Structure 1
Amino acid sequence: MALVHWAPFREIEGLQREMNHLFDTLAPAANGETGRVSFIPAAEIQETPEAVHLKVEIPGLEAKDLDVQVTAEAVSISGERRSETRTEEKGVTRSEFRYGKFRRVVPLPARVQNDKVEAEYKDGILTLNLPKVEAEKNKVVKVNVA
């Protein structure tokens, strides 16, 4: 049986490197651009026998700034938060909010009629009513057992 030397601090250093890499990709760069991900909106999905209802929280935007695309299997929501006000003092720019592009793809639990989607954007909440295709509405079928 071989003895293996365990170095717990080496594992902690590895974890620290991984966490630093994660936060480096999320934090704004010096040139003002953000990393790979700047904002991921929260979503809530509910399925009824007739439709799929999706609510997405996207505060601080106008409806014209949103790009919503619906396929039979998923919803893609993208947009960009833009900075309206900044303060510059002694070469330092200050902003309290995060800005940048975002994109969220939400897979749907059932196939929907993407040409009959109803959408409403009010008070920072995007609400989508996605009617199911007829085959999905009649998915449960009673089977007679002989």
Structure 2
Amino acid sequence: MSLIRFEPFREIDTLQREMNRLFENFTPPVERGSNGVAFMPAAELHETPEAIHLRLEIPGLEAKDLDVQVTAEAVAVSGERRSETKTEDKGITRSEFRYGSFRRVIPLPARIQNDKVEAKYKDGILNLNLPKAEAEKNRVVKVSLD
């Protein structure tokens, strides 16, 4: 009979790696359009001491088709995609349509002044400049050491 050495920290490390792998591959549920194809605008968030800069990729829409709502803690962007592709080849016309609404809510890492938000939409990219609330700019957190 042989002895097997029990190493609890190795098991915890293995469990942690598996959990990390699970969450790396996780994508949040998205709304599906009428054709069953999901659309979720890609987002990029950059924070500076004075503001939060948010970019969303929303191709194929015009500014009038977007609804952007901003609270002190989150940004909600919604709209409806209507897309049509037509190709003609050897007398055959092929047409594809994509329709559907989408909504994405992005929580913000700090409170903002939602009455001073600047927005620009060009070439399918929505840029939002979200100035931080004064209390957030001057916020200092004391860290206690044990």
Q: TM exceeds 0.5?
A: yes
What does residue range 12-91 of structure 1 map to in structure 2 within 5 Å? 26=32, 33-35=34-36, 38-84=38-84
The letter for the 1-side match of 2:130 is L
| Structure 2 residue aligned with 1:134 | 134
Please name the residue that 1:114 is paired with: 114
CA contact (8 A) 1:38 1:101 kept: no
- Paired with 2:139 and 2:41, the residues of 1 have a C-alpha distance of 31
Shift of residue 141 of structure 1?
A: 6.0
Question: 1:38 is paired with a residue of what secondary structure?
Answer: coil
Q: How many residues are treated as equivalent by the alignment?
A: 109
- Residue in structure 1 matched with residue 104 of structure 2 by the alignment: 104
Q: Which amino acid aligns with 1:119?
A: A
Distance 1:75 1:141 in 2: 25
Q: Give the conservation status (yes or no) of the 8 Å contact 2:39–2:102.
A: yes
Alpha-carbon distance between aligned partners in 1 of 2:136 and 2:43, rounded to the nearest angstrom: 22
CA distance in 2: counterparts of 1:54 and 1:83, whole angstroms: 25
Shift of 1:38: 2.5
Runs of 4+ in structure 1 over 6 Å off:
none
Q: Which runs of 5+ in 1 are unaligned?
A: 1-21, 88-92
Q: Tell me which protein shows more strand as a share of its residues.
A: 2
Paired residue type of 1:54: L
Q: CA deviation at 1:140?
A: 2.5
Q: Is the 1:38–1:99 contact (alpha carbons within 8 Å) kept by the matching residues of 2?
A: no
User: Which amino acid is the alignment partner of residue 99 of structure 1?
Assistant: Y
Q: Does 2:134 correspond to 1:124?
A: no
Q: CA RMSD in A?
A: 2.7
The percent of aligned pairs where both chains have the same amino acid is: 76
> In structure 1, the residue corresponding to 2:115 is in which secondary structure?
helix
| Structure 2: 5+ residue stretches without partners | 1-28, 88-93
Q: Does the residue aligned with 1:109 lie in a helix, a strand or coil?
A: coil
Supply the distance in 1 between the matched residues of 2:107 and 2:141 (Cα, whole angstroms).
25
1:14-49 Cα shifts (integer Å, max 9, x gaps): xxxxxxxx9xx85x7xxxx234x7310000001100
Contact 1:42 1:56 in 2 (8 A): yes
